[in-house]
Amino acid sequence: MSVVHEPRLGLRANLAQFSLLVVVNALVGGMVGQEQAVLPLLAKQEFHLAGYTFLLTYVLAFGITKAATNYLAGTLSDSFGRKPVLLAGWLIAIPVPLLLIWAPSWGWVIVANILLGINQGLTWSTTVVMKIDLVGSRQRGLAMGFNEAAGYGAVALTAVIAGYLAAHYGLRPAPFLLGLSYALIGLGISALFIRETRGHAHLEAENHPRAELGRQAALSNREIFTRTSFTEPALSSASQAGLVNNLNFGLSWGLFPILFASIGMPVQRIGLLIATYPAVWGAGQILTGALSDRWGRKHLITAGMLTQAVALGLIAVGATFSWWLLASALLGAGTAMVYPTLLAVIGDVAHPLWRARAVGVYRLWRDSGYAAGAIVGGAVADLWGLRAAVWAAAAITVASGIIVAARLYETHPHGQRTRV
């Protein structure tokens, strides 16, 4: 006889499921980490690609598909439930490392990254929504801090391990066997132990007046998209800041390994530098997510965007391992201030009845940053060089921080406004 679990809100009440979802999202992040230090080197050494724009096609393919799938994941989660979407994402992950291992041409790598983008859009978006469902409003920042820390901590750790495996056993197949194991374990945990959380969102929605429930339930997908993208100041400010944040990450993924290798740095040291950014980003989010619950969201996001800009400037002028290590850590710290806090803003403002779709729209814009980073970074690097591409990203990040400072209002539940 099956056990019926009555939904309750709060981190403590849902600690077991929340912890399992943290583990699942770590595995999701590891799927990206297997590529970070290895694919740019694979492109140069085995496929002999010329031109930064062409090399970054895999980041572009990943970013476009992940962004689009994020939106789809939010809509499907509201329509059919969170768990089926999570399972579908893991099934799509399984072919990714196999394609990377067997790829006879760069086209196979692009196909693998299209599938990886779909996997990330379905699984990462769903774990975000499920954690927001479970914890309710009081500890939303902390929940997002744990979620993103697990994901990006795994990106960093897997990048280090993959770099070590590549240095000792070659660029293929050893690093990508990590991804295959992650996909199989993630599918197993999600199928056997993760429970549906849509009922928790409905429970939270019941605390709102009936008239408001009717009005919010009547919102169309187009209205939700327009609010989150353009018209609602907090939601749209968060969306543009998320896009710029991931523009920086996409740039780091595609061009930083080549910049570091340009001075003859060995692959293991490159792997360590590449891992430092998401490692500090990942670990720092536990602290910054909790701080946003105490201090509020706006100023943390503004300071984080400007910190990222400073770090990018330091990377652009650097030429030694120790300098780049410090700059990468600073870039991670700035990103940690921003990443969970932006998700908390979406959770603060969006109504529970359409919150999954708002998260999907936000992540559509945020992960479009991967594609923007590939296009801007690749084009500028081809025209004026690698360091000019990093300076361009720094300038864009300053502009984004100014927009947040001017337009985003405080959304924390103890602030002036929390719902639209």
Average pLDDT rounded to a whole number, residues 344-361: 88
Lowest mean pLDDT among 233-242, 350-359, 380-389: 350-359
Domain annotation covers residue 339: yes
Residue 417: the pLDDT is: 45
Domain annotation covers residue 288: yes
- End-to-end alpha carbon distance in the chain: 42
Domain count, the chain: 1
The domain containing residue 284 runs over which residues?
15-407
Whether residue 218 has pLDDT greater than 70: no
Q: What DSSP element (H or E) covers 73?
A: helix 57-80
Tens digit of each residue's pLDDT (9 = 90 or more) over 81-124? 999 999 999 999 999 999 999 999 999 999 999 999 999 999 99
- The total of other beta-carbon atoms located within 10 Å of residue 13's CB is 15
Select the more confidently predicted residue: 218 or 347. 347
* Confidence band for 149, pLDDT divided at 50, 70 and 90: confident
- The CATH number that applies at residue 224 is 1.20.1250.20
Whether residue 416 has pLDDT greater than 70: no
Select the more confidently predicted residue: 127 or 2. 127
Domain annotation covers residue 4: no
Average pLDDT rounded to a whole number, residues 241-247: 95
Average pLDDT rounded to a whole number, residues 368-387: 88
Domain annotation covers residue 275: yes
> Quick one: which of 366, 370, 164 has its CA closest to 274?
164
Residue 1: the pLDDT is: 42
Tens digit of each residue's pLDDT (9 = 90 or more) over 266-323? 877 888 888 898 889 888 988 998 899 888 899 999 999 999 999 999 999 999 999 9
- The total of other beta-carbon atoms located within 10 Å of residue 3's CB is 4
* Confidence band for 371, pLDDT divided at 50, 70 and 90: confident
Domain annotation covers residue 187: yes
Whether residue 35 has pLDDT greater than 90: no
The pTM (predicted TM-score) of the whole model is: 0.80
> Quick one: which of 147, 24, 5 has its CA closest to 85?
24
Q: What is d(CA 339, CA 345) in angstroms, rounded to the nearest whole number?
A: 10
Domain annotation covers residue 164: yes
Q: Are 29 and 158 in contact (CB under 8 A)?
A: yes
Domain annotation covers residue 292: yes
Residue 42: the pLDDT is: 87
* Confidence band for 55, pLDDT divided at 50, 70 and 90: low
Residues 6+ apart with CB under 8 A from 231: none
Domain annotation covers residue 8: no
